[in-house]
């Protein structure tokens, strides 16, 4: 698996730690945040590629955090997590640009696949932007 940066945002310390350790064993660089505000703080100063974001959290919930991530770092992909079967919040998250959403408890292999797919999407978007900038730069008169 290609190495990339994941931010795990969940108010359950044990869940966040287990996921982080499992992902690190697979070669990913992982940071953790216990709430949406801390996640946004981390995102301002990190090279995060994909955010794994719990929907139900105290303070600002995952949906509001997703809205703010879209403004702050539009290329960062977000996968929503919920332990509470709520199709409405999953649909709302997808409309706001979430890559996908998964139900807790989650299995590691499907999670790794989603994370990898989300990273690949981000990487391709970044390449397109860089190619467009290069093309624009090359067409400028000297």
Q: Encode pLDDT of 104-127 as tens digits.
A: 889 999 999 999 999 999 999 999
pLDDT at 87 over 90: no
SS3 129: helix
CB neighbours of residue 80 within 10 Å: 26
- Phi and psi at residue 28, in whole multiples of 5°? -90, 150
Reported as a single tens digit per residue, the pLDDT across 35-50 is: 999 999 999 999 999 9
The pLDDT, as a whole number, for residue 38 is 97
Percentage of the chain modeled with pLDDT above 90: 75
**The pTM is what?**
0.91
Tokens of 68: 């703010």
Determine the Cα–Cα distance for residues 69 and 51; give it in Å rounded to an integer: 9
What domains sit in the chain, N to C, each tagged with a CATH number? 5-138 (3.40.50.2300)
User: Dihedral angle at the C-alpha atoms of 79, 85, 88, 89, nearest 10 degrees?
Assistant: -40
Helix, strand, coil percentages, rounded to 5, for the chain: 50, 20, 30
């Amino acid at each position: 698996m290609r190495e990339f940066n994941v931010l795990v945002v969940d108010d359950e310390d044990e869940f966040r730690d287990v996921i982080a350790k499992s992902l690190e064993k697979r070669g990913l660089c992982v940071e953790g945040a216990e709430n949406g505000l801390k996640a946004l703080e981390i995102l301002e100063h990190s090279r995060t590629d994909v955010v794994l974001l719990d929907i139900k959290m105290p303070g600002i919930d995952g949906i509001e955090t997703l809205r703010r991530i879209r403004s702050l770092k539009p290329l960062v992909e977000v996968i929503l997590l919920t332990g509470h079967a709520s199709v409405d919040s999953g649909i709302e998250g997808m409309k706001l640009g979430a890559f996908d959403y998964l139900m807790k408890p989650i299995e590691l292999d499907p999670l790794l696949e989603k994370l990898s797919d989300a990273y690949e999407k981000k990487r391709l978007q970044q390449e397109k932007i860089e190619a467009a900038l290069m093309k624009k730069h090359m067409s400028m008169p000297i």
